[in-house]
Amino acid sequence: MSKVRVESFAISIDGFGAGPNQSLENPLGEGGMALHEWALATKTFKAMFGEEGGTTGLDDQFARQGFDNIGAWILGRNMFAPTRGSWGDTEWEGWWGDEPPYHVPVFILTHHPRNSIVMKGGTTFHFVSGGIHAVLEQARAAANGMDVRIGGGANTIRQYLEARLVDHIHLAISPTLLGAGKHLFEGLNLVTLGEQISA
């Protein structure tokens, strides 16, 4: 069976996966972009956005491995848009422009379904209600035997961790403090969770 993976998910030293006050101007919340400076500098990420150059060391190796054998993605609603509640602007197609970097089906976990959006380069955004199990079932089917990557945000990853559905997790701890925002481990007893997973 395919694996459910979290790859290269960046958190601050104090455990936040995004800063506070997400907005159109601050997709990752205030200060959140600092979490991803390591990844954005790599050759892998620059190539994804049509740019030349980039670092080729260990950071690039992890960034590249994170895309190996990925057949579908799962994202939380706020990884697609800064809005809450019902979809007001159905013209919005995500943060990444005409050709998002996923190139496979992407399943958005939401309480407010909407029609799928087909983008250039093989990415199709599907908006699925019904909870994390329903979304994972659809993502596994679309992945066709390949792995499913949970891209975030912190709340979405936390839900899958709590349900013991994550097979592999790679965290990148960025040398920054955010002080507030979306904490990856909020409410989780990692010791107990680890004992139950290994039992």
- For residue 173, give the CATH number of its domain: 3.40.430.10
The angle formed by the CA atoms of residues 185, 187 and 191, to the nearest 5 degrees, is 70
- Adjacent-strand bridge partners of 73: 106, 149
Question: What is the count of structural domains for the chain?
Answer: 1
pTM of the complete model: 0.90
Give the pLDDT means over successive 10-residue stretches in the chain (199 positions).
Answer: 92 94 86 91 87 92 93 92 75 78 93 89 91 96 96 93 93 94 88 64
Q: Please tell me the distance from the alpha carbon of residue 157 to that of residue 74, in angstroms, as a whole number.
A: 9
Enclosing domain of residue 145: 4-87+96-198
Site of tokens 């989780």? 188
Strands (E), 56-188: 70-76, 105-109, 117-118, 124-128, 147-152, 168-173, 182-183
